Structure 1
Amino acid sequence: MGLLSNPLHPTSAHDFPVVQYADDTILIMKASQQELFCLKGIQHSFSESTGLKVNHSKSCLIPINIHQEKAEQLAAVFGCQLGSMPFTYLGLPMGTTKPKVEDYAPLISKVERRLSATSYWLSTAGKLTLVDAVLTAMPTYAMCTLKLPATVIKAIDRARKDCLWRKNDGSGKPLIAWSKVTTPKKNGGLGVKNLRIQNQALLIKHLHKFYNKMDVPWVQLVWTAYYGNGAVPHATRLKGSFWWKDVMESIDHFRGIAAPWTGNGSTFLLWQDIWNGQMLQSKFPHLFTYATNTNITLATYLNNQDIQANFQLPLSQVAMEEFHSFNDYIHSQMQNLQGNDVWTYSWGNAIYSSQKLYKKAFTSITPPDPFRWIWRTKLSKK
Structure 2
Amino acid sequence: MEASSLMISKAARLGYINDRKPSRNSISLTHLQFADYTLCFIEDDEKSIANLKRVFRWFKVCSGMKINFAKGSIAGIKIEHSLVEHYARRIGCGVEVLPITYLGLPLGDRIGKIRLRNKALLAKWLWRYGEEKRALWHRVVREKYGKELGEWKAGVPVRGRGSAAWRSIASICGCFDQYIRFCVGKGDEVRFWLDLWIGDTPLCQKFPNLFRLVVKANVMVSEYLIRDGHHGRGVWDIRLRRNLKENEIESHRVVKDVGIPLLSAG
TM-score of the aligned structures, taking structure 1 as reference length: 0.38
- Corresponding residue number in structure 2 for 1:227: 147
Can you list the C-alpha shifts for 1:61-98, whole angstroms capped at 9, x where unaligned?
xxxxxxxxxxxxxxxxxxxxxxxxxxxxxxxx4xxxx4
Q: Is structure 2 residue 226 aligned with structure 1 residue 297?
A: no
Structure 1 residues 165 and 263: CA distance shift in structure 2, 3 A: farther
Which residue of structure 2 aligns with residue 200 of structure 1? 119
| Match in the other structure for 2:128 | 209
C-alpha contact 1:260 1:275 (8 A) present in aligned 2: yes
Superposition CA RMSD, Å = 4.7
Q: How many residues were matched structurally?
A: 187
Once residues 204 and 81 of structure 2 are traced to their aligned partners in structure 1, the CA distance between those partners, rounded to angstroms, is: 57
> Does the C-alpha gap of structure 1 residues 283 and 226 become closer, same or farther in structure 2, counting only changes over 3 Å?
same
1:303, 1:221 → 2: CA distance? Answer: 35
Specify every segment of 5 or more residues in structure 1 that has no aligned partner in the other structure, as ranges: 1-92, 105-138, 172-180, 341-382
Percent of aligned pairs sharing the same letter? 19
**Displacement, 1:207?**
0.4
Q: What SS does the aligned partner of 2:192 have? A: coil
Distance 2:84 2:130 in 1: 53
**Is 1:250 paired with 2:172?**
yes
Aligned ranges 1:254-269 → 2 under 5 Å: 254-269=176-191
Q: Which residue identity does 1:325 align to in structure 2?
A: V
Q: CA deviation at 1:168?
A: 8.2
Counterpart code for 1:326: V
Q: Which has the higher helix share?
A: 1
Match of 1:33 in 2: none
Contact 2:152 2:189 in 1 (8 A): yes
Pair 1:334 & 2:261 matched: yes
Q: Which residue pairs with 1:154 in the alignment?
A: 41
- Asked whether the equivalents of residues 129 and 153 of structure 2 are also in contact (C-alpha less than 8 Å), the reply is no
User: What's 2:250 paired with?
Assistant: 321
The alpha carbon displacement at 1:204 in A equals 1.8
Q: For 1:328, give the aligned amino acid.
A: D
Change (3 A) 1:144 1:221: closer
Q: In 1, are the aligned partners of 2:196 and 2:202 still within 8 Å (CA)?
A: yes
Aligned AA (2:183): W
| Amino acid in the other structure paired with 1:203 | L
Q: Write the distance in 2 (CA, Å) between the matches of 1:144 and 1:155.
A: 21
Structure 2 unaligned blocks of 5 or more: 9-30, 50-73, 87-97, 228-235
**Against the structure 1 CA distance between its residues 286 and 169, is the aligned structure 2 distance closer, same or farther, given a 3 Å change threshold?**
closer
Query: Which structure has the higher relative contact order (CA within 8 Å, separation 6+)?
Result: 1
Question: Contact (CA 8 Å) 1:144, 1:202: kept in 2 or not?
Answer: no
Return the letter of the residue paired with 1:334.
Answer: P
Q: Distance in 2 between matches of 1:333 and 1:208?
A: 26
Residue 287 of structure 1 pairs with residue 213 of structure 2: no
Equivalent-residue separation in structure 2 for 1:221 and 1:302 (angstroms)? 32
User: In structure 2, do the counterparts of structure 1 residues 339 and 238 end up closer, same or farther at CA, with 3 Å as the change threshold?
Assistant: farther
**CA–CA separation in structure 1 for the residues paired with 2:36 and 2:175:** 17
Q: Is the 8 A contact 1:271 1:295 kept in 2?
A: yes
Distance 1:296 1:289 in 2: 13
Check the 8 A contact 1:231/1:297 in 2, yes or no.
Answer: no
- TM norm structure 2: 0.51
- Indicate the residue corresponding to 1:5 in structure 2: none
Distance 1:229 1:200 in 2: 22
The CA deviation string for residues 148-172 of structure 1, in whole angstroms up to 9 with x for no partner, is 6xxx62249973117973238978x
Give the deviation of 1:280 after TM superposition: 0.9
Offset at residue 228 of structure 1 (A)? 6.2
SS of the residue aligned with 1:287?
helix
Maintained 8 Å contact 1:183/1:192: no
Structure number with larger C-alpha Rg:
1
TM-fit CA distance, 1:322? 2.8
* Contact 2:133/2:151, CA 8 A, preserved across alignment: no
Q: How far apart, in 2, do the equivalents of 1:245 and 1:233 lie?
A: 13
Contact in 2 for aligned 1:211/1:267 (Cα 8 Å): no
1:291 CA drift (Å): 0.8
8 Å contact from structure 1 (residues 230, 297) kept in 2: no
Distance 2:84 2:133 in 1: 54
Seen in structure 2, the aligned counterparts of structure 1 residues 156 and 247 have a Cα distance that, compared at 3 Å, is: farther
For the residue of structure 1 that corresponds to 2:181, the secondary structure is strand
